[in-house]
């Protein structure tokens, strides 16, 4: 049995991930900002931890990570406020990476998006620009860290039923639609596979079983 900590624990991907891990008898701590969401966390078999990652420093996050085998960053400011986007999607993400290192955690998975990177090409006048910039900075910090990292880059997220199959490379859907359930299953699959460390995996829903698809470079 392993113990994983999920940041952004009340998000749709996070809740699905926690439930899948709990079904495999893993211990899951889901970090949430709003104590009112604790019941939802418990309902999927995880333990809630109320901690505002937007304001928590590295020491507070490291304390939360003690005894954890892996950290999953699935938090997000939700757009609409550039300052909060930078504070959560960039700054809090980076602090959590540094905290994982300080706590002796090796495994770290972050949920990014397909197209993220310094050359994202988003116009500065576009409302998506702060998110693109924040994700680029967070992903680059993770790549430069000593963690056993995986960067997952799903396409346009949907609430479609998960299929257990995704597409990478030429198999990605043209519209890049990606079920949140498939993202959760991909997170879990990557936690089980050491050969997904130090890799960036861009994907959408597709024709290939997740366990096979994530082996492809």
- The pLDDT assigned to 78 comes to 82
Question: What tens digit of pLDDT does each residue of 187-212 get?
Answer: 999 999 999 999 999 999 999 999 99
Contact present, 70 and 5 (Cβ < 8 Å): yes
Contact present, 108 and 148 (Cβ < 8 Å): yes
Range of the domain at 130: 3-213
Question: What tens digit of pLDDT does each residue of 27-67 get?
Answer: 999 999 999 999 999 999 999 999 999 999 999 999 999 99
Q: What is the CATH number of the domain that holds 195?
A: 3.40.50.720
Question: What tens digit of pLDDT does each residue of 13-22 get?
Answer: 999 999 999 9
pLDDT band for position 217 (cuts 50, 70, 90): low
Give how many domains the chain has, as a whole number: 1
Say what the pTM is.
0.96
Distant-in-sequence, close-in-space partners of 168: CB < 8 Å, separation ≥ 6: 201, 202, 203, 206, 208, 213, 214, 216
């Amino acid at each position: 049995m392993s113990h994983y900590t999920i940041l952004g624990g009340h998000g749709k991907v996070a809740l699905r991930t926690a439930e899948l891990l709990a079904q495999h008898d893993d211990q899951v701590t889901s970090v949430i900002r709003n104590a009112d969401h604790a019941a939802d966390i418990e309902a999927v078999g995880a333990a809630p931890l109320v901690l505002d990652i937007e304001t928590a420093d590295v020491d507070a996050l490291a304390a939360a990570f003690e005894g954890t085998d892996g950290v999953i960053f699935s938090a997000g400011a939700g757009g609409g406020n550039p300052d909060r986007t930078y504070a959560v999607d960039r700054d809090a993400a980076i602090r959590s990476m540094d905290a994982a290192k300080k706590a002796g955690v090796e495994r770290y998975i972050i949920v990014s998006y397909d197209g993220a990177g310094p050359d994202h090409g988003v116009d500065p006048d576009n409302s998506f620009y702060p998110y693109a910039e924040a994700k680029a900075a967070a992903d680059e910090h993770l790549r430069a860290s000593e963690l056993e990292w995986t960067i997952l880059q799903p396409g346009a997220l949907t609430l479609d039923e998960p299929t257990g199959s995704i597409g990478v490379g030429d198999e990605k859907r043209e519209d890049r639609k990606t079920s949140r359930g498939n993202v959760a299953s991909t997170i879990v699959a990557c936690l089980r596979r050491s050969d997904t460390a130090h890799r960036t995996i861009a994907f959408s829903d597709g024709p290939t079983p997740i366990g096979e698809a994530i082996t492809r470079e």
